[in-house]
Chains A and B, each alone.
Chain A
Amino acid sequence: MRASRWALIVIVLLIAAVIGVAYGTLRLTPLEVLQGAFGSGTSTQVAVIRQLRLPRVLLAALVGAGLGASGAALQGATRNGLAEPYLLGVSGGAAVGAVIAVALHAPTAVVPLAGLAGALAAVALSLIVARASGGQGDARVVLMAGVVVGAFANAAIMVALAGVDANAVRGALWWMMGSAADASWAQVRALSVYVAVGVAALLALARSIDLLALGEDAAAGMGINVARVTLAVYVAGALLAAGTVAAAGLVGFVGLLVPHLARMAGARTHRTIIGAAALGGAALVVLADLVARVAHPPAELPLGAVTAILGVPFFLSRLRRLA
């Protein structure tokens, strides 16, 4: 990918971040944003920027980076442009964990942890199902297992929500649609660890993913241990997705969409695709979160709904070009 394209992605991300911090009930100029971030300006401005908007924008960026990188790696390893982290059952599992926590009126801090546990359990279950069916290391079998686990999870959510009060249902639903509204510095710190570790792992796997994208036999012929590398990509991708789910709920379409944008921008080997998808995903989710906040004030739109509304037309146009 050309350097100018990289620069463009970074500039879009930075502009999105500044606008993201500037817009809201309290409107700020870009200059006030920069001043406030470094502690000058009125105390209200500093408080709004430092306590509310900056963590929110950073959290959205980290969510996008994690989902974008995860999607890019999974699409390469499964040789399938429709693969995305949520297809491994991550979303379903995370939702089951979180919804159960909400339904049991668990403390708010416990909900993301329950989501994380659910997500990891779902990935483990998909891999076990795939192994039991003899398709260990076979991308298609693992994807199908993920779909089945996801469907099971949806059923489990409906069962869990059947008997609870309306407030809990509303909380669970909000969580299933994704939101960065409750962002805190603690969440930003936690997610940044997930994203740093996950993206670094995927970058280390990138060359192996290039070979896996040629086909399993071809990759094996070039010295790749197909089963082990595939498993490593799934685990790293699932950790990233689970971390983002724990921080902001289910934000759909990003993991699916952004790798396609990265390839359209000229990224062809996976080191580049994963890097560009991480930066591009960050920009996309920051912008989507901005739309979620300002589109229909004072109410907030669910973040996952905004990304889906942005993603569907793009995907339809992609499909038309492929057909």
Chain B
Amino acid sequence: MIEFRDVSVRYPRREVAALVGVSLAAPRGSLTAVVGPNGSGKSTLVRALVGRVPLASGSITVDERPVDDASRRALATQVAVVVQREEPAFPLRVREYAALGRYPHLGLFRAPSHTDRAAVEGALARTGTTHLSDRSVTELSGGEWQRVRLARAVAQGGDAIVLDEPTTFLDVAHEMGVFELLSRLAREGHAVLLVSHQLNLVARFADHIVLLHRGRIAASGAPDEVMQGAILERVYEWPLVVTRDPAIGAPALVPLRAPSRD
């Protein structure tokens, strides 16, 4: 279980803290989603987890073990992180890229074993990217690249996965594909922590939603508890209604046009 306890983060030379006393948990076997407007601190949560911004207070633990510089490589064998922006500076083949997920297991010099190679092939198969494995990552479409990044995270072989906006730039089919895969990983026992803008998809797939607003938790609970018109309208500062999607009856947000001025 990944657990944030009372986490506060303040970027240097900024007056307002990016996160204030945020507590949340992503247990195994469920999909936990963090949502919120731009600048609400969603990505900062992920950056704090991987040590790119220091905590002003609070703690982050994985299975009760604190996340710090000393434990970070060992943690990478347990928790795979797919950050928001990632672009290989020099071309790699897809299979080579996915194999980077095994590096936390390999250390400095150990050659990849049969287990490592099997993990890579398994990850390519599960994410439906085996047919891409000899292509260069620079030649992939946006949707292919996101799935290949998921393959790398799955190859990492831990039982927790953290993703920051994994469906940006994806069309409906690819977006649904990613959410279905994450949902399957959660059902198979992974702890999935997802940062996303896609409120309506999150409402359908997530077991637990955390809504952030200006670095604080505005609401936290099951999709029905969080997806309420009054709460969302206050947080997003835009008129909207919450309805039910016609297929499965999950809560769905419909933003309204701005009220006319005449």
- Using a CB–CB cutoff of 8 Å, the interface residues on chain A facing chain B are 75-76, 79-81, 134, 204, 207, 210-211, 213-218, 220-226, 263, 268-269
Contact = CB atoms under 8 A, between A and B. Distances in A.
Point out which of A215, A218, A226 has the most chain B C-beta atoms below 10 A from its C-beta: A218
A224 B74 CA distance: 10
Contacts of B109: 204
A225 B72 CA distance: 8
Contact of A217 (B77, B80, B86, B156): B86
Given A204-B108, A207-B103, A216-B52, A221 B89 contact: no
Nearest to A206: B108
B83 interface: yes
B110 to A, nearest CB: 10
A184 to B, nearest CB: 35
B126 interface: no
Interface in B66-111: 69, 72-77, 80-93, 96, 100-101, 103-104, 106, 108-109
B12 A218 contact: no
Contacts of A221: 46, 50, 76, 80-83, 162
A215 B87 contact: yes
A222 B100 contact: yes
Interface residues of B, number: 37
Given A221-B81, A268-B93, A213 B88 contact: yes
Given A217-B83, A223-B75, A225-B72, A207 B108 contact: yes
A211 B83 contact: no
A215 B90 contact: no
Contacts, number: 81
5 contacts: A207-B103, A207-B106, A221-B76, A222-B156, A223-B77
Given A204-B108, A217-B52, A268 B96 contact: yes
B51 A220 contact: yes
B47 interface: yes
A214 B88 contact: yes
B52 A268 contact: no
Interface of B: 12, 46-47, 50-52, 69, 72-77, 80-93, 96, 100-101, 103-104, 106, 108-109, 156, 162
The residue among A216, A220, A226 with the most chain B CB atoms within 10 A of its own CB is A220
A79 B83 contact: no
A76 B90 contact: yes
B100 A220 contact: no
Nearest to A220: B50
A76 B89 contact: yes
Contacts of A263: 90
B82 A214 contact: no
B86 A215 contact: yes
A224 to B, nearest CB: 8
Nearest to B51: A220
Given A214-B88, A222-B101, 12 more contacts: A207-B106, A207-B108, A210-B103, A215-B83, A215-B85, A220-B72, A221-B83, A223-B75, A223-B76, A225-B72, A268-B90, A269-B92
Nearest to A263: B90
Contacts of A213: 88-90
B196 to A, nearest CB: 17
A17 B146 CA distance: 47
A259 B69 CA distance: 31
Q: Max chain B CB contacts within 10 Å: which of A76, A134, A215?
A: A215
Contact of B85 (A75, A207, A217, A223): A217
Contacts of B89: 75-76, 79-81, 213-214
Nearest 5 A-B pairs (CB), nearest first?
Answer: A223-B76, A221-B81, A79-B89, A223-B73, A217-B83
B90 A223 contact: no
B85 A210 contact: no
Given A204-B109, A207-B103, A268 B92 contact: yes
A176 to B, nearest CB: 31
Nearest to A260: B90
Given A204-B108, A204-B109, A207-B103, A214 B86 contact: yes
